[in-house]
Amino acid sequence: MDRLAAFEIYIRVVDAGSFSAAARHFDIGQPAVSKAVAQLEDWLGVKLLLRSTRALTPTEAGQNFYARAKRAVEESGEAVLAARGAAAGLTGKLRVSAAVCFARLHIVPKLPQFLSQHPELDVELVLDDRNIDLVEEGVDLALRMGDLADSNMTARRIGEARRRVLATPAYFERCGKPSTPADLLEHHAIVYSRDIDGGEGWTFRRDTVEQSIKLQSRVRISATEGLRAAVFSDIGLAVASEWAFSPELKSGAVVAVMDDWNLPTIALSALYPTGRMASSKARQFAAFVEECLAPEFAPTLLSA
């Protein structure tokens, strides 16, 4: 039995809560995962997991072993990195979760540079506007915007963007440009329904003045790509992050107004579902994304 590999399998089984999720992560059959855990239990002479039809629960011995096994895997990874040297390239596969539009605009165009730096590394992008379960899906790194609900995850802020009121020049020519929050009540708005920080209501600030406005909208869209398409169709104006429209804001295809009023910014965070050494590839990719976004979208506050 390859003990270190068995340690890694057991750790993944506990993290994911199932043999099948661990099997998908390692791209092996479920029987191989069950066998590895059984061999560990025989070698240790203790029961590590309590199995039921609905869940896997570590025993007390299993919980103690989990903590020490995870530390052993991390230390082995650290030893490998030290032996190879800091200049060694990354190898294996990296699964990255990100929102569809953000990845298309800001990650995919930069991928060739990262891949050329690490020719032995394969990158799989899992694109979904929903916040998927990182452990269940075998994801090494998630790039998420806004408030984070995954309290058990390790997170670091790597970028920050302004929210702006924007539309096409054609829409503003037809309907006029708002100059105050109250003016927005006279406009058609396109609402991004997944925007947990604002939705239809926004609080604008300028100096010491604060105004809260609930946008009037007949169109609600749950995906950023749809929001972009609606704006380009001259349906109305939108409150959106600069990330979603940065190429068009630079080209003039989309125009921002009311920039003397401030809206809450939106943060981009890197989330890691595993320990620090297990996510070394993920951390380097997150650092690469952070470097690509800076200085235009550099965070104002870094959090560990």
pLDDT digits (tens, 9 = 90+) for 111-146: 999 999 899 889 999 998 888 877 778 788 999 988
Angle at 274 between CA 287 and CA 53, to 5 degrees: 145
Q: In the prediction, which pLDDT does 241 show?
A: 93
Domain 91-160+266-293 CATH (choose: 3.40.190.10, 3.30.70.2740, 3.30.70.141, 3.30.70.1150): 3.40.190.10
Return d(Cα 29, Cα 81) in angstroms, integer: 29
**Global pTM value:** 0.69
Q: For the chain, which residues make up each domain, given as ranges?
A: 3-84, 91-160+266-293, 163-257
Give the closest residue to 188 by CA, choosing from 156, 236, 230: 236
Q: In the prediction, which pLDDT does 211 show?
A: 93
- Give me the helices (H) in 118-272, please: 169-175, 224-232, 242-251
Q: Is-contact 181 285, C-beta < 8 A?
A: no
Give, to the nearest 10 degrees, the angle between helix 19-26 and helix 3-16: 120
Q: In the prediction, which pLDDT does 279 show?
A: 61
**Topology of the domain comprising 3-84:** Arc Repressor Mutant, subunit A (1.10.10)
74 Cβ partners below 8 Å, 6+ apart?
275, 276, 277, 278
Q: In the prediction, which pLDDT does 87 show?
A: 46
Do 91-160+266-293 and 163-257 have matching folds?
Answer: yes
Residue identified by tokens 């003990």 is 3
DSSP-assigned beta bridge partners for residue 96: 125, 141
Domain 163-257 CATH (choose: 3.90.1150.10, 3.40.190.10, 3.30.360.10, 3.40.50.720): 3.40.190.10
Q: What is the mean pLDDT of residues 1-14?
A: 87
Return d(Cα 190, Cα 217) in angstroms, integer: 6
10 Å Cβ neighbour count for 156? 16
